[in-house]
Structure 1
């Protein structure tokens, strides 16, 4: 019942790239989440700590992050939430590899934990291929490579947002008034909020910083 009440209280988000601002503020959204119980909040925090970059502790290393991701996947009973985390981290790993290529970095040394998921080995074996021979698995990887190659950083970021939005569409099928629906709404809201904050030249500077320099100890996986 709590999920029905919560979801019914949240306004539609509309289309990703159309809203000037999210239809509900962060403060109001946080207030609505008070309907969730302690267990729900704990799960929400676990997921946010894995897929929301601003919440990543700067002191956490990539091996520690990957271990935490695997612990969540092993403990969660929701196929939808496991799929959400896995697909987001798979994508981040591919994007991190593309960025390493763009910076001219060599293949990660054997044994280094630099990414997440089942495709890391394939990428390492095909490191010299522009798209790591991932086109069949991730059809968007060629477009992402080309956008980076052209230095179209806004297009590159917009492509990522579009991919995640479509992924949330698929994962949200059949979830309307349950906890999964809440998590998917929050993930969508985050995309709308982030995109609405990107403006012109400021966005280019921000994207270039993300692509070229990375962030903290996660500069490989979460550059």
Structure 2
């Protein structure tokens, strides 16, 4: 079982800006890049390709109504949930130090649909689509050798410090032992709007009811590549 805790806060994480002028990118640019990284996978999502679906019920905390007029907090709603591995590889190694994702689709009584998406890391891999795209571009294997140039990756991170936050966090935290034994972070700051029209900055966190569990160093070496589902 998992529960949602809405956190209202005024403090937001500010990331350094990139150190050079970036060329804007769009969704199709990312689709093309994902195919370079993971190959063409017909019928499979380009990002967070490997995952498992679940259904559940969201029961709102009535205290949220003082901050928001959203119908999301009026009554319980059904929820479609998808847990996933980061990246475009449908056979991703689930013992790896990579983000896990969670997407939730709330089906409200009035017919509206509300979507949220989060990661098991409290920060994203870059402070802009361009910074993220640039980072992923350095991970494309060389056409001749088939190898990733990690010196190039390191140089890009040093030039774009906003890409270091998630990387450093992953190096110091072992991956979850289960999709439902980890916190999920909304990463970005959002705003609730109350009945007076006032905005309240917040970040949401999905908190498991049971104690959080991570893989041990030994389990990361011995567990199969697929066990989370």
TM-score if structure 2 supplies the norm length? Answer: 0.29
Larger-gyration structure (1/2): 2
TM-score if structure 1 supplies the norm length? Answer: 0.30
User: Greater relative contact order: 1 or 2 (C-alpha under 8 angstroms, separation 6 or more)?
Assistant: 1
Query: Which structure shows the higher helix fraction?
Result: 1
